[in-house]
């Protein structure tokens, strides 16, 4: 029987605020089995860019990453945010290691092409190094992965954290019984974006097609759900989208099935 592995993706808003970060990590530590944490940090990157006088450009919710912005996101994601999380986990007695995709060649990607917008140094994942990750996990280390990858030729690439979590879950599903949880500031996938009590408890592939067609699901929730169904298809046992403070509460959030 495969050993249990929890892969938790947490949005930048959660890890960027001290109170929510502390609460999230306490719950994270209490989860049974092996664990991996993937985090964002977009608001911190935008704030740092503003402080440095660098313009932030977003298209359809995605950050355009030129050479200067790549320096900012590398500094913020791999440095400030990642090491803050690692330090907090260390204070809770966890042996955590902060990583980007470039470290130990964990995640390779290629620069995005074929889009109407040139997003710059933005990467789409090609390969996850399961041997490297399993080596850490079996050693009792918790990988804490920042949303940066590399192309194997020395180039760092800004990469969507939801996608990195999903691809990591898919890659490790052959070795572990993987549960993938997307944590953010909402209680789950909502039927009404303005009503926190309108959580949709279960979403199938057919449900998703309908919710997408009628506009119930849109924006940043689309890639979460697309990554969720791809993960299930690749052998991930369970996928949940929930609010960060419900991480350890069974029966909450939206279960993707």
pLDDT for 217-247, tens place per residue? Answer: 987 788 889 989 999 999 999 999 999 999 9
pLDDT of residue 54: 96
H or E element, residue 138: helix 130-138
pLDDT digits (tens, 9 = 90+) for 52-70: 999 999 887 789 999 999 9
Per-residue pLDDT, averaged over 178-182, amounts to 97
CA pair distance 235, 201, nearest whole angstrom = 21
What φ, ψ does residue 205 adopt, rounded to 5°? -60, -40
Residue 62 confidence (pLDDT): 83
Which of helix, strand or coil describes residue 37? strand
Dist CA 253 CA 8 (whole Å):
14
> Does 82 have pLDDT greater than 90?
yes
For residues 8 and 138, give the distance between their C-alpha atoms in angstroms, rounded to a whole number.
17
Task: Specify the DSSP element, H or E, that contains 156.
Answer: strand 156-158
Confidence band of 31 (pLDDT split at 50, 70, 90): very high
Helix (H, G, I), strand (E, B) or coil at 76: helix
Q: Are 108 and 126 in contact (CB under 8 A)?
A: yes
Output phi, psi for 68, to 5 deg. Answer: -70, -45
Question: According to the model, what pLDDT value does residue 106 have?
Answer: 98
H or E, element range at 100: none
CB atoms within 10 A of CB 60: 8
Q: Is the pLDDT of residue 256 over 90?
A: yes
Q: Tokens 């041997």 correspond to what residue?
A: 131
Q: What is the dihedral of CA 110, 130, 248, 86, to 10 degrees?
A: -70
Domain locations along the chain: 3-256
- CA dihedral sign, ordered 5, 11, 15, 21: negative
Please, is 29 exposed, middle or buried when counting C-beta atoms within 10 Å of its C-beta (0-12, 13-18, 19+)? middle
CATH architecture label of 3-256: 3-Layer(aba) Sandwich (3.40)
Q: Is the pLDDT of residue 23 over 80?
A: yes
| Averaged confidence pLDDT in the chain | 94
- pLDDT (tens digit, 9 = 90+) per residue, 107-164? 999 999 988 889 999 999 999 999 999 999 999 999 999 999 999 999 999 999 999 9
Q: Residue 165's pLDDT is what?
A: 96
Report the predicted TM-score, pTM, of the whole model to 2 decimal places.
0.94
Q: What is the pLDDT of residue 185?
A: 87
């Amino acid at each position: 029987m495969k050993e249990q592995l929890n892969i938790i993706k947490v949005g930048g808003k959660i890890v960027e605020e001290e109170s929510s970060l502390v609460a999230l990590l306490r719950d994270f530590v209490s989860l049974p089995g092996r664990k991996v944490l993937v985090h964002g940090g977009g608001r911190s990157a935008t704030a740092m860019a503003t402080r440095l006088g660098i313009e932030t450009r977003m298209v359809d919710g995605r950050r355009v990453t030129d050479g200067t912005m790549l320096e900012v996101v590398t500094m913020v994601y791999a440095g400030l945010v990642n090491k803050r999380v690692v330090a907090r986990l260390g204070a809770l007695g966890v042996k955590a290691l902060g990583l980007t995709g470039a470290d130990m060649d964990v995640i390779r990607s290629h620069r995005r092409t074929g889009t109407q917008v040139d997003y710059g140094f933005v990467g789409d994942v090609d390969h996850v190094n399961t041997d490297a990750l399993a080596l850490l996990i079996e050693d009792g280390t918790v990988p804490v992965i920042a949303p940066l990858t590399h192309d194997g030729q020395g180039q760092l690439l800004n990469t969507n954290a939801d996608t990195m979590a999903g691809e990591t879950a898919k890659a490790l599903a052959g070795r572990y019984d993987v549960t993938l949880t997307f944590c953010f500031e909402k209680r789950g996938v909502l039927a009404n974006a303005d009503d926190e009590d309108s959580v949709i408890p279960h979403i199938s592939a057919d449900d998703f097609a309908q919710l997408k067609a009628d506009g119930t699901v849109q924006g940043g929730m689309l890639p979460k759900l697309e990554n969720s169904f791809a993960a299930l298809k690749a052998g991930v046992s369970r996928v949940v989208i929930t609010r960060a403070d419900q991480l350890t509460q069974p029966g909450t959030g939206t279960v993707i099935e």
